Structure 1
Amino acid sequence: MPVRKIPKNYRNVTGVAAHRKAEGAASFESTLERDFIALLEFDPAVERFEVQPITLDWSDDQGRARSYTPDAIATFKLHGQPRRTVLYEVKYRSDLHANWPDLRQKFKASIRYARQQGWRFKIVTEVEIRTPYLDNATFLLPFMRRGPSEEAHMALLTDRLAEMMHRTTPADLLAACYQDEWHRAALIPTLWYLVGTRQIGTDLDEKLTMASPIWSLPV
């Protein structure tokens, strides 16, 4: 569970994000933190994450006792590779520039602590978070949570994609399944579910549209 309860804040947007991988409440106190939580939830390599998991006690340059709570911790597992854990701080670049003398000391304490645990410490900003990949994650996550409309739709879409030399576009794949627009529309939630769960491939670093290239992935 988060070590610090996030209060309501009238300067920033606060709330609790929908999640499946989070341990405890996935609370956020800015839209940037909310967007980062979405990326953790969407990333298939993330096994689990936790928001504000620990508070570090440290001393500043004047020897004064200080404390600091990083924003999140995530455990990653890639096939064939050992698990790795990353401790995160989420900050706007303007905040980094304005408050760097104080933040630098906090981050040095976090780096030391992370190394002692065998973890990494990483700062992420809007430059890394707010990308087309985030837009795609935000779009696809509701379909992933809802699941496919019907199991038969999954087989129909993947079989048609294989018949189309394993590469096409969402619009053309739907057209190859049905001529009737209502039946095509019924397939759309399952199509995006398959893309979001990486059962159908696409370039998630480019804006996802009905004309985006999609392709079959190895089973």
Structure 2
Amino acid sequence: MKLQVETTKESEKKSQGVINPRLNITKEDANFVKRVREISLKSFSLSGVINIDQLKNPIQFESSLERDYIFLLEYDQTVKQYLEQPLKIKYIDNNKKQRTYIPDFIVEHFDNRPTELIEIKYTSTLKAKKDELEQKFKAARKYCQRNNLIFKVADEIHIREDRATELYNYKFLHRYKNYFHNINKDRTAFPILNENLVLLRTKLKELKKCTVSELVAHSAKDSDKQAELIFLTWYMVSNNFIKIDLTKKLTLNSIICLD
């Protein structure tokens, strides 16, 4: 399935006021359940909403860098839950005026590390608005100290260079993740679909560990059938029915297994 990005006023209206069930933690002076700010469309930057999963609410973003970070969050198995535009932090700037700062994301992990407040910025913006941003970041660090949180700034180096392979894999898998939710509304194709999924799972259980190519070759001899099974294999990988190493670039020679 292609990335579903909506940037129309109608889609923006649909996303406003949506209660987000992904976070249920509470902290002092913070709203971790519903966005505190709705992201509006801008003519000078890419903004909109992304439907990663049909069972979840659309996720808002203000830049392509934020959109890429959402992919990292959604497919990272260590991430328990997160929310965009999560809370307001009030502070006094250098001109003695009261300001409000809203971090881009709050992220909670499955392990015992502190919950993180994340700001997404390009390195060029960090340099151009250094003084203004440092006041906001200082207020965020103080807020985090009071609430046992960690504040981090993620730029394109962290998102697109340090994690380039993972990001490539996540974007690649996204096209398969919800494919059958969209084309099979009448459910007519599900019997054949289920039969082929069972075939792949049964064969992989026999092989225990193999490449994508090996699984398909052992499951069918016809080239058209093999092409269909390759698609279904990636569908199963994207929905965590099959295990694979996502730190390495996905190819037909990638090793897969059930456990």
Pick the aligned partner of 1:118 from 120, 137, 148: 148
Displacement of 1:21 in angstroms is 9.4
Question: 1:18 — aligned with what?
Answer: 51
Tell me the amino acid that sits aligned with residue 203 of structure 2.
Answer: R
Question: 1:75 — aligned with what?
Answer: 108
Displacement of 1:140 in angstroms is 0.9
Say if 1:151 and 1:12 are closer, same or farther in 2 by CA, change over 3 A.
same
Pick the aligned partner of 1:177 from 210, 213, 219: 219
Whether the aligned pair in 1 keeps the contact of 2:86 and 2:103 (CA below 8 Å) is yes
Query: So what's the TM-score if we normalise by structure 1?
Result: 0.84
Question: 2:194 — aligned with what?
Answer: 151
Give the 3-state SS of the residue equivalent to 2:178 in structure 1. Answer: helix
Pick the aligned partner of 1:107 from 137, 154, 159: 137
Whether the aligned pair in 2 keeps the contact of 1:157 and 1:177 (CA below 8 Å) is yes
Whether the aligned pair in 1 keeps the contact of 2:68 and 2:167 (CA below 8 Å) is yes
Distance 1:147 1:21 in 2: 11
Question: 2:15 — aligned with what?
Answer: none
Distance 2:102 2:118 in 1: 10
Whether the aligned pair in 2 keeps the contact of 1:199 and 1:216 (CA below 8 Å) is no
Query: So what's the TM-score if we normalise by structure 2?
Result: 0.72
Displacement of 1:195 in angstroms is 1.9
| Residues 80-107 of structure 1, C-alpha deviations (whole Å, 9 max, x = no match) | x448522110111121122222212211
CA RMSD of aligned residues (A): 2.6
Displacement of 1:52 in angstroms is 0.7
Pick the aligned partner of 1:59 from 71, 86, 92: 92
Give the 3-state SS of the residue equivalent to 1:6 in structure 2. Answer: coil
Consecutive unaligned residues of structure 2, counting only runs of 5 or more, are: 1-33, 182-189
Question: 2:21 — aligned with what?
Answer: none
Aligned residues: 213
Give the 3-state SS of the residue equivalent to 1:134 in structure 2. Answer: helix
| Residues 160-204 of structure 1, C-alpha deviations (whole Å, 9 max, x = no match) | 23433x332212211111001222222233311332234433332
Whether the aligned pair in 2 keeps the contact of 1:16 and 1:28 (CA below 8 Å) is yes
Whether the aligned pair in 1 keeps the contact of 2:59 and 2:84 (CA below 8 Å) is yes
Give the 3-state SS of the residue equivalent to 2:42 in structure 1. Answer: coil
Give the 3-state SS of the residue equivalent to 1:141 in structure 2. Answer: helix
Consecutive unaligned residues of structure 1, counting only runs of 5 or more, are: none
Displacement of 1:217 in angstroms is 4.3
Question: 1:28 — aligned with what?
Answer: 61
Say if 1:163 and 1:22 are closer, same or farther in 2 by CA, change over 3 A.
closer
Distance 1:197 1:217 in 2: 12
Distance 2:64 2:171 in 1: 13
Q: Which is further off, 141-150 or 34-43?
A: 141-150
Tell me the amino acid that sits aligned with residue 202 of structure 2.
Answer: D
Whether the aligned pair in 1 keeps the contact of 2:116 and 2:149 (CA below 8 Å) is yes
| Residues 4-59 of structure 1, C-alpha deviations (whole Å, 9 max, x = no match) | 22222111111111134998641111111111112222223333322111121111
Tell me the amino acid that sits aligned with residue 200 of structure 1.
Answer: I
Question: 1:161 — aligned with what?
Answer: 204
Distance 1:141 1:45 in 2: 18
Distance 1:197 1:57 in 2: 40
Whether the aligned pair in 2 keeps the contact of 1:168 and 1:215 (CA below 8 Å) is yes
Matched, 1:141 2:141: no
Tell me the amino acid that sits aligned with residue 195 of structure 1.
Answer: V
Q: Which is further off, 126-135 or 187-196?
A: 187-196
| Residues 115-174 of structure 1, C-alpha deviations (whole Å, 9 max, x = no match) | 32222222111122221211111111232234696334333223323433x332212211
